[in-house]
Amino acid sequence: MFEIVSDGGIVMIFLLILMALAMMIVGERFWGLRNKEIIPEKLPNQVIKWTKQKNLDVQHIEKLSKNSPLGYVMAAALHKRDRPREEIVESVEDAGRHVVHQLEKPLNWLNAIGEVSPLLGLLGTVIGMMKVFANIMEFGIGNANQLAGGISQALTTTAAGLIVAIPAVLFYRYFKNKIADQIIIMEQRVMELIDSLNK
């Protein structure tokens, strides 16, 4: 392993840092995007029950907004419960945009890693080929050992860049789709709440 890193040169150090960062983001998003954290199953019925019992004081709504992303969007609807339906929906849409931004924020880094890693690999390739040509200029093409180091760096960094980028892009797409699915469920639950407020 150490030999591979040393063959890749300084570019490999940056690629290893990006790999560690990508793994941390993936682990955090797997934990943070669990359905029970984003859209608690029992919360919608509990909130609708509050509305029927007229148990909607400021403390309840404030506690709801801190409960989960779904709770935050529902609280936005409850703050405007005495307003026309259009205003409630507008408030919910604003809250929804805020929630989507918060859920997707770490994914921007994952996407950046997926885009930058192949470029770093390409940089390592260029540096490796520059070493090859420098050695050819100095020693000629007769000494294969002098050429091997540059070629090894070129191939190692190219492979490493792709090894970091491919999983990063795949996990980015996976989490984006997961968030989109959760947002659809949130919309359904909040519309049920708005319907109950209008009755």
Q: What is the pLDDT of residues 18-55, one digit of tens each?
A: 999 999 999 999 999 999 999 998 888 888 888 777 76
Q: What is the pLDDT of residues 98-133, one digit of tens each?
A: 999 999 999 999 999 999 999 998 888 888 777 766
pLDDT of amino acid 96? 92
Number of domains, the chain:
1
* SS3 at position 193: helix
- Is there a contact between 74 and 64 (Cβ–Cβ < 8 Å)? yes
pLDDT of amino acid 147? 57
Above 70 in pLDDT, residue 180?
yes
Instruction: Give the separation between CA 152 and CA 101, rounded to whole angstroms.
Output: 42
Q: What is the pLDDT of residues 182-191, one digit of tens each?
A: 999 999 999 9
Give the contacts of 23 (CB within 8 A, at least 6 positions apart): none
pLDDT of amino acid 182? 94
Q: What is the mean pLDDT of the chain?
A: 85
Nearest to 155 by CA among 24, 4, 1, 2: 4
- First-residue to last-residue Cα distance in the chain: 66
Expressed as residue numbers, the domain containing 129 is 2-198
pLDDT of amino acid 22? 96
Nearest to 42 by CA among 70, 66, 65: 70
pLDDT of amino acid 64? 86
Question: pTM (2 decimals)?
Answer: 0.83
